[in-house]
């Protein structure tokens, strides 16, 4: 029985992303979603969102809505899903329980699944014995030997149970993965997977197969940690006489600072963290496009439309990519610089709530080429809105003697107090003339001056910022610096 939707005798490409609302949307999941989305659109198919909420114990309140919002905020959409419906709904697994009951009963009737009444204590003892014997821990099938009468008695007595898959003995399950090629696994190494838990809710392995078949999913993109689970699912497809979809198991994203995959112990891993940190959605997507795929050329900048046009399964990588945050910063900075000042205004306003509209309009052209992400803005401009405490040693940049630093700031104060026009051209000319008259080192002067005004050594162009800061505030900051040098 073909599972694919058909039009004019040809199968329609249908892909899906099925996040679990047990937490926030991981950046790796967004990469998987992006590839699945692009493949569907490249082939004029449909992309579906399905919520897999069978793990009821780990559900996080509000996570489903936040996941959907994160996807939308990244500029992606779906053709069918829990919020918009579709021809193959419902699109939330716990709303599909009656469907699963029908198919689990079919497996029971065919003796391809069986009731298991073992307790958690029984299972732990079983595993301990197997480990001691240096065997692979897996269910020993003791409940498979129960008679029909014993099963019926247990059911009548309401003995808790799960339903397990009867895995065929000593059979090689093979499939061709779009990324890794042919993969073979012997069923000897496969456990009799639980299909329905004691609370009556199906496990992921059962529900995902039923859902993907009924929703006519043709291609499945997911992380390579699911490779070992694929044979169990293929067995189910065969038991139901359903066509197996094409699998593409994608590489995991490696942490740039520590060995192994990305971990929240070492930095941001959730999509919302990156968005809140001031990364533009289009830059984030562009970065993710290149983590596991390339076009076969040197091109690095892709719009979503470009990516869809060029996306191909043939160019998926087998090598695990490193999540290079410096590369993300570079791309984000590039996208920021490509935006007009008018486009950047509302973005700057969000990250600079203390700044007036006029201040933001002045800051945008000054800072747009000097930040990697929007969250850099408060750090870069903090000195404009409050005084920053620092030690007097910080003023002695580039081995400037304390006496010289004090003299530089004293004369600069006198200049700023008397200069008729307090604008960039007048301030730049006045300060450069002052440096020349005294024979000071330009770099040395501006480092001392910058610390006096900003309290840090890395800032936007300091003279550009003086009109924003105002004459009064600038002089107050210089006075504070002079007092530190006089103490």
Sign of CA dihedral 460, 301, 292, 46: positive
39 Cβ partners below 8 Å, 6+ apart? 13, 15, 45, 219, 221, 311, 313
Structure tokens at 115: 């009731």
Of 49, 80, 54, nearest to 65 by C-alpha is: 49
In the DSSP assignment, the letter for residue 68 is H
b or e along 62-76 (b: 16 or more beta carbons within 10 Å of the residue's beta carbon)? ebbebbbebbeebeb
Contact 191, 138 (CB under 8 A): yes
Stated as kind and residue range, the H or E segment containing 16 is: strand 14-17
Of 203, 190, 121, nearest to 162 by C-alpha is: 203
54 bridge partner residues: none
15 Cβ partners below 8 Å, 6+ apart? 36, 37, 39, 40, 45, 46, 47, 48, 217, 218, 219, 220, 221
Say which residue the tokens 């599909």 belong to: 96
Per annotation, catalytic residue among 264, 318, 350, 436 = 264
Cβ burial, residue 399 (10 Å; 0-12/13-18/19+) = exposed
Query: What distance in Å separates the CA atoms of residue 285 and residue 31, rounded to the nearest whole number?
Result: 8
Helices (H), 215-303: 230-239, 271-276, 281-289
What is residue 42's three-state secondary structure?
helix
Helices (H), 240-280: 271-276
Of 278, 204, 218, 234, nearest to 39 by C-alpha is: 218
Q: Is 264 an active-site residue?
A: yes
In the DSSP assignment, the letter for residue 86 is -
Residues labelled catalytic: 264
């Amino acid at each position: 029985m073909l599972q694919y939707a058909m039009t004019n005798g040809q199968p329609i490409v249908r892909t899906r992303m099925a996040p679990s609302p047990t937490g926030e949307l991981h950046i790796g999941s967004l990469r998987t979603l992006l590839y699945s989305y692009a493949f569907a659109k490249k082939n004029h198919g449909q992309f579906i969102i399905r919520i897999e909420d069978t793990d009821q114990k780990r559900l996080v309140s509000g996570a489903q809505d936040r996941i959907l919002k994160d996807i939308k905020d990244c500029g992606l959409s779906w053709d069918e899903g829990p919020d918009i419906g579709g021809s193959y709904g419902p699109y939330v697994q716990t709303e599909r329980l009656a469907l699963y009951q029908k198919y689990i009963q079919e497996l029971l009737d065919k003796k391809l699944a069986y009731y298991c009444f073992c307790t958690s204590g029984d299972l732990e003892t079983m595993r301990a014995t197997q480990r001691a014997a240096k065997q692979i821990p897996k269910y020993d099938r003791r409940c498979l030997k129960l008679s029909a009468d014993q099963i019926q008695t247990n059911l009548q007595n309401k003995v808790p149970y799960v339903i397990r898959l009867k895995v065929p003995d000593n059979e090689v399950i093979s499939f061709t993965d779009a990324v890794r090629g042919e993969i073979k696994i012997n069923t000897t190494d496969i456990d009799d997977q639980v299909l329905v838990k004691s609370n009556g809710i199906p496990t992921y392995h059962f529900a995902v197969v039923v859902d993907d078949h009924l929703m006519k999913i043709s291609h499945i993109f997911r992380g390579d940690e699911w490779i070992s689970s694929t044979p169990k699912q293929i067995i189910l497809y065969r038991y139901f006489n359903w066509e197996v979809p094409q699998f593409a198991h994608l590489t995991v994203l490696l942490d740039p600072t520590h060995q192994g995959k990305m971990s929240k112990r070492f930095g941001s891993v959730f999509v919302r963290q990156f968005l809140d940190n001031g990364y533009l959605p289009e830059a984030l997507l562009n970065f993710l496009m290149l983590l596991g795929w390339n076009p076969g050329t040197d091109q690095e900048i892709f719009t979503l439309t470009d990516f869809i046009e060029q996306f191909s399964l043939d160019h998926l990588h087998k090598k695990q990519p490193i999540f290079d945050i410096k590369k993300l910063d570079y791309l984000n900075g590039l996208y920021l610089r490509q935006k007009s000042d008018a486009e950047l205004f509302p973005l700057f306003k969000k990250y600079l709530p203390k700044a007036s509209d006029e201040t933001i309009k002045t800051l945008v052209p000054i800072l747009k080429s000097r930040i990697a992400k929007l969250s850099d803005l408060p750090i870069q401009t903090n000195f404009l809105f409050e005084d920053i405490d620092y030690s007097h040693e910080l003023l002695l940049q580039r081995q400037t003697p304390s006496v010289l630093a004090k003299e530089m700031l004293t004369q600069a104060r006198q200049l700023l107090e008397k200069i008729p026009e307090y604008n960039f051209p007048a301030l730049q000319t006045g300060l450069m003339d002052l440096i020349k008259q005294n024979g000071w080192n330009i770099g040395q002067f501006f480092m001392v001056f910058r610390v006096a005004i900003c309290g840090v050594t890395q800032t936007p162009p300091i003279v550009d910022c003086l009109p924003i800061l105002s004459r009064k505030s600038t002089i107050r900051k210089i006075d504070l610096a002079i007092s530190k040098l006089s103490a």
